[in-house]
Structure 1
Amino acid sequence: MGAVVEFKRWIAGVSGSIRNTEWRAVVSRRYGSRMRRFSKVCDLTGPGTSSCNFDVVGTDLGIPVELPGGRELAWIFGDTFSGVAPGTPGWRSPVLLRSADQPLEDGVEFCSCAGKGQARRLVRGSNRGRTTWLPADAITIGDATYLFAMRNDGLHNVTQTRIFASTDAGESWKKTRAKWSGKHDAGNMQLITWVQGPPEDNWIYVFSTGFQRNKPLFLYRVAVDDVTNPKAWVPWGWTEDTGWRWGNTATPVLTGQFGEMSLRRVDGKYVLVWFDAGGYQIQAMVLDHPTDNLFETRQYTLLRGTSWEDENHAVGDVAQLYGGYIVPGSTLDDLHISVSQWNTTTNKVYKAMLFHGSLPR
């Protein structure tokens, strides 16, 4: 029962990843006129799914990343429990499941985990007292996979971020020299998403924000070979003298209330998907380049938040939704995303799901 007590202490003062007041305040409003009507493919986790084979029952996030070799995907989850609900035994975070390369329209079947039978926590020292390490995003470069994770000492109180590296298909992870205080750049580089440019581009592009769902979006880049060198991360900023330029002080590239996000290259474009906490919806943009003017870029609503009574996953109406991670293998005509849901009132629903739909070219 120790883990249960510690988790309840950790979430004291908040109701969960989606606060009740956060979604109730906007449930009657409809933002984003460009609705794409994404629909549900399947549950990724929870009772009756293959995640249970690895003692992953109640969990969220599910950040998919292609592992070296391209034959398997890793799915990295956040706070994980042996029971359906947060606060049940077996608290671990983050954890990793693997799936073989397969048609996404058939759903996802997990075939292995990081750990011996039971998916174990990837970061040593997580889930002690009020501390949990939560994944932000992962990327594979050559023979290594890198995980950007946030240390939370109490939910949304990020005290440190760090990059961990694995060279054995996500089985074990080691600290790299890349770490930052939670206060770095005024707390605007806590939650990130990243993507490597095309072969002729030697940069990794990083969108970042805070983890409180009340901050705008910022942009950085780092050379591929320097991803674990914190001094090599260069902000994109604007001044009256220079205009937009790399190396200026970081300037918001888009205002709003950003939550979890996912930046990936899809069909030669850069696609950004994110949880819009202010609008209670999952949004997307299709970009030619991360430095595009996001203020003038069309946004698309993939999923809309709704009440539990009005849910309809077939038409993209989802209660207490968050996340929104692009699955490798997606195309603009058939984009798959991992989306989370937590009923913070009853605590009976806490899972990751797979949705799909299309975006314009």
Structure 2
Amino acid sequence: MGNTTKIADLTGPGRTDAFGVGGTDLGVVATAPDGRLVAVFGDSFEEATVGGPGWRSPVVLFADPDTVAEGLRWTGSGGDENAYARQLIEYPKSALLRRPRCSTMLPTDLITLGDTMFLHVMACRGLGNVLWTEILASTDNGVTWSSTGARWPGDVCGGLFQMLTWAAADDGYVYAYTTGFRRDAGLLLHRVPAESLADPEAWQPWGFADERWAWGNPPTLTLPGAFGELCLRRVPGPDGQRNWLLVFFDAGNYRIDALLLDAPNADLHRAPRTTVLEGTSWSGEDHATGRVAQLYGGYVVPGSTLSDLHLVVSQWNTATNWPYHAMQFRTDLAGL
């Protein structure tokens, strides 16, 4: 963890207020088909706080991929590419049409497959209460979005198919780790053919039954714990090989950890593991050495390598509602 340092604040005054974003969090990032970086943020407000005018979620900001080293530089916003970052999709905020009221829709992960970007979101009634999850899609490099129709009830898999991360493999499948939004449970693993990503019936759980692990068995915890935000990516190592890396907020131990996997369905108990950032008190913060108060998130920035890994990390002072922002940290995991 001693190799982890802060690069920059990514959101807040002087960074994103030109887009009507004062306070925001999350910030999962993927590369659009046109080469831009697309970052999707959660609950966003016009002022540098939680609450007030301009509450919407999710929102998109675009970044120049050449600015990763010094901190992502924002070049535009989603919705209609005007300066004001608009909410990507309308969703029911009332009980009309026999649909439950949704107070916010939070992004969990983003993936690009061919010319289409897919975004997994949680429809919530307040924090921690997930009504359903669904997949949105964009065919114009993240500018506008629509629902694919793929939707799962919030209680599917015992509520452990809410917080999701995914990555595509060379075998034609997309692999996805999931957990609950309440940060009090372990991990499940599913896979789905890439061309069937938006077909809930095509998703297969990884589970243990009849004394063996296999696809199609009832979903089984791959790692117990109390986890939050997840990020599964394939990251080049020193030899150029793309490694499977799972970064996650370990809420139970108040830190952000990383696991290096030899396959997407590796034994997580035996996978090399390290702590990237440690949670601390506000008086104990030291961003230069990787100690961050009220931290969460931990999303890999495209272009990262194991020896030059960049992460988007959120921070929310729940007592004062500021800071409520996203930051960029860099670390070296080449020795993992």
Q: TM-score range by the shorter chain?
A: over 0.9
* Structure 1 residue 124 corresponds to structure 2 residue 96: no
Of 63, 70, 78, the residue aligned with 1:106 is: 70
1:293-343 Cα deviation digits (max 9, x unpaired): 101122100000001011000000000000000000000010000000000
Of 315, 319, 329, the residue aligned with 1:355 is: 329
* Structure 1 residue 89 corresponds to structure 2 residue 23: no
Q: Any residues of structure 2 matched to 1:173-184 within 5 Å, and which?
A: 173-184=145-156
Q: Which residue of 1 aligns with 2:188?
A: 218
Quote how far apart the aligned CAs of 1:36 are. Answer: 4.9
Quote how far apart the aligned CAs of 1:260 are. Answer: 0.3
Question: Could you tell me whether the CA contact under 8 Å between 1:91 and 1:127 is conserved in 2?
Answer: no
- For residues 176 and 2 of structure 2, the distance between their equivalents in structure 1, rounded to whole angstroms, comes to 25
Quote how far apart the aligned CAs of 1:181 are. Answer: 0.3
Q: Which residue of 1 aligns with 2:26?
A: 61
Q: Which residue of 1 aligns with 2:244?
A: 270
Quote how far apart the aligned CAs of 1:177 are. Answer: 2.4
* Structure 1 residue 312 corresponds to structure 2 residue 286: yes
Question: Could you tell me whether the CA contact under 8 Å between 2:109 and 2:164 is conserved in 1?
Answer: yes
- For residues 208 and 102 of structure 2, the distance between their equivalents in structure 1, rounded to whole angstroms, comes to 38
Q: Which amino acid aligns with 2:10?
A: L
Q: Flag the structure with more relative contact order, 1 or 2, with Cα contacts below 8 A and sequence separation at least 6.
A: 1
Q: In structure 2, list runs of 5 or more residues that go unmatched.
A: 95-100, 237-241
Kindly indicate which of the two structures has a greater share of residues assigned to helix.
Answer: 1
Q: Relative to structure 1, is the Cα distance of residues 273 and 216 closer, same or farther in structure 2, using a 3 angstrom cutoff?
A: same
Question: Could you tell me whether the CA contact under 8 Å between 1:189 and 1:209 is conserved in 2?
Answer: yes
Quote how far apart the aligned CAs of 1:123 are. Answer: 2.0
* Structure 1 residue 206 corresponds to structure 2 residue 176: yes
* Structure 1 residue 163 corresponds to structure 2 residue 129: no
Question: Could you tell me whether the CA contact under 8 Å between 2:91 and 2:102 is conserved in 1?
Answer: no
**What RMSD over aligned residues (CA atoms) do the two structures have, in Å?**
1.3
Quote how far apart the aligned CAs of 1:348 are. Answer: 2.0
Tell me which stretches of 4 or more aligned residues in structure 1 moved more than 2 Å: 125-130
- For residues 103 and 73 of structure 1, the distance between their equivalents in structure 2, rounded to whole angstroms, comes to 10
1:85-118 Cα deviation digits (max 9, x unpaired): 0112110100000012214222111001013221
Q: Any residues of structure 2 matched to 1:238-253 within 5 Å, and which?
A: 238-239=208-209, 241-253=210-222
- Number of residues paired by the alignment? 322
* Structure 1 residue 151 corresponds to structure 2 residue 123: yes
* Structure 1 residue 292 corresponds to structure 2 residue 266: yes
* Structure 1 residue 233 corresponds to structure 2 residue 203: yes
1:181-221 Cα deviation digits (max 9, x unpaired): 001111110110000013xx110000001101011100000
Q: Relative to structure 1, is the Cα distance of residues 233 and 253 closer, same or farther in structure 2, using a 3 angstrom cutoff?
A: same
Quote how far apart the aligned CAs of 1:288 are. Answer: 1.2
* Structure 1 residue 259 corresponds to structure 2 residue 228: yes
Question: Could you tell me whether the CA contact under 8 Å between 1:93 and 1:126 is conserved in 2?
Answer: no
- For residues 234 and 152 of structure 1, the distance between their equivalents in structure 2, rounded to whole angstroms, comes to 25
Question: Could you tell me whether the CA contact under 8 Å between 2:118 and 2:136 is conserved in 1?
Answer: yes
Q: In structure 1, list runs of 5 or more residues that go unmatched.
A: 1-34
Q: Which residue of 2 aligns with 1:41?
A: 7
Quote how far apart the aligned CAs of 1:286 are. Answer: 0.8
Q: Which amino acid aligns with 1:262?
A: C
1:256-280 Cα deviation digits (max 9, x unpaired): 0010010000011100000000000
3-state secondary structure, aligned to 1:296: coil
Identity %: 46
Question: Could you tell me whether the CA contact under 8 Å between 2:118 and 2:137 is conserved in 1?
Answer: yes
3-state secondary structure, aligned to 1:309: coil
- For residues 196 and 130 of structure 1, the distance between their equivalents in structure 2, rounded to whole angstroms, comes to 30
Q: Which amino acid aligns with 2:142?
A: G
- For residues 202 and 87 of structure 1, the distance between their equivalents in structure 2, rounded to whole angstroms, comes to 43
What is the TM-score of this pair, normalised by structure 1?
0.87
Question: Could you tell me whether the CA contact under 8 Å between 1:97 and 1:111 is conserved in 2?
Answer: yes
Q: Which amino acid aligns with 2:311?
A: I
Q: Which amino acid aligns with 2:187?
A: L
Q: Relative to structure 1, is the Cα distance of residues 247 and 44 closer, same or farther in structure 2, using a 3 angstrom cutoff?
A: same
Q: Which residue of 1 aligns with 2:310?
A: 336
Question: Could you tell me whether the CA contact under 8 Å between 2:165 and 2:231 is conserved in 1?
Answer: yes
Q: Which amino acid aligns with 1:185?
A: C
- For residues 93 and 226 of structure 2, the distance between their equivalents in structure 1, rounded to whole angstroms, comes to 27
Q: Which residue of 2 aligns with 1:20?
A: none
